[in-house]
Structure 1
């Protein structure tokens, strides 16, 4: 009989966390660091926990059922609408990442909104149910040590006929030019990951926005394959990320985005 008590879990030190962040980076971490280094510090270094927002919960639930739908297509066993709805209900009830604090009547309204987005997407058949995907929700990495950069990590939502597809929920209709610019870190990162792991060049990118209007709609923004200029720009951004972490340059970046930041109070007190 083992009488030794299990060693208590030891939380990593701030130095250990910073070292780990310099070894691997995702598009979302890089984007946040470039948006506001202090917000990055609160979320990824101090690891401050904040309640889940209603919009994030809707987005996660929609994303989950689309993932289930695409995996069923990959198995060539397409879901019925009823099965998709059951998957949505299960995703909505998932509390593993916390649940938002709802106002009176808000949860039912948001739950209905989320399902209407899914139903609209499936009904309009933007990706045919009988077309087998190349890949669904695949975690991938790219070792960029030859460029003096950290390992790039990410998860590809969907690859269809060598086109990289990413799902997003939005409250407003996206502008194609602005979307292409604001998501460039993500789309370029995905292209690098795809090429590194397949040895092939992607046929292009597509962002499938599920827009939460009174009459939900789907807006698809397509983009050509990654250019050498975009790859070089991402590498320079990653260099700035590494340098900033090495020197612990966690400075705030005040601006319009602060009004919706979950760390507003912490920033004001910092």
Structure 2
């Protein structure tokens, strides 16, 4: 049974037939998402700490900025979808409300009040730059905003994705904030798992091939800029590859394979100290 909700945003529900039957690998297989799969590809031990030991990520200024920018663009798209008149002042109020809500929901330890003010100004400058560059025509028809897609494939947990925006013609859009401009030569490769998951879900839920995929990077340079990367509809081989990857992911989680993947990225990993103490740190619910 495959379903899609091409409607206003809805809360994601965890899909579990019998919660008491979940074994020691926790709830990592209640559903699969692009973020879970990508984390597992980066490092299986990092995936363990995040999705099996259930250790929450500590809020950071970058995460805070990204969530607020995303929330503001989401409301902008909803207003356009519903053909509601709005002003730039309305968007500023939306932005400030999202900033305050994120502060309450996921408090960040700011170094100073000035740091918060600077980051808030940077976040708004990203949104303002995006709107000023008119990347998307305000009068363009919209197929969906924050679209929840779900596919139940044979021998796999539910595969779920939340698509930021579906433009006319079935073009899938994902908004990202970044510290530097993406490399056009490798962007499809770097984000390949997410793009393939979205394409897979779109095809299963609509019965049609996506019209293309777009990554809209809002870049946090001194002078904010927007980089739009357009990717052609994926080939059938890429869809087959991601389905095979889903099966490998499930098999590895069920086998409790928590092999680490040491790299230069370890320096910025919030689980570095836990990883150094492995296997003593293999404690579900560890919150050190």
TM-score after normalising by structure 2? 0.85
Higher relative contact order (CA 8 A, sep 6+): 2
2:8 maps to none
Segment of structure 1 superposing worse, 68-77 or 50-59: 50-59
Q: Deviations over 1:62-102 (max 9, x none)?
A: 00000000011110114311111111101111145412211
2:178 is aligned with 1:170: yes
2:82 is aligned with 1:75: yes
2:141 and 2:100 map into 1 onto residues whose CA distance is 29
Alignment RMSD: 1.7
1:138 maps to 147
Q: Is the 8 A contact 1:78 1:130 kept in 2?
A: no
Within-5 A mapping of 1:42-191: 42-94=49-101, 95=103, 97-104=105-112, 105-145=114-154, 148-161=155-168, 162-191=170-199
User: Matched residue pairs, number?
Assistant: 257
Q: Which runs of 5+ in 1 are unaligned?
A: 1-11
2:165 and 2:57 map into 1 onto residues whose CA distance is 29
Q: Which runs of 5+ in 2 are unaligned?
A: 1-18, 279-288
Q: Is the 8 A contact 2:40 2:47 kept in 1?
A: yes
**What's the offset of the Cα at 1:16?**
4.4
1:50 and 1:32 map into 2 onto residues whose CA distance is 13
Within-5 A mapping of 1:6-21: 15-16=22-23, 18=25, 20-21=27-28
Aligned to 1:166, what secondary structure does the other structure show? strand
2:81 and 2:136 map into 1 onto residues whose CA distance is 12
**What's the offset of the Cα at 1:20?**
3.9
Q: Is the 8 A contact 1:69 1:78 kept in 2?
A: no
Higher helix share: 1
1:128 and 1:214 map into 2 onto residues whose CA distance is 26
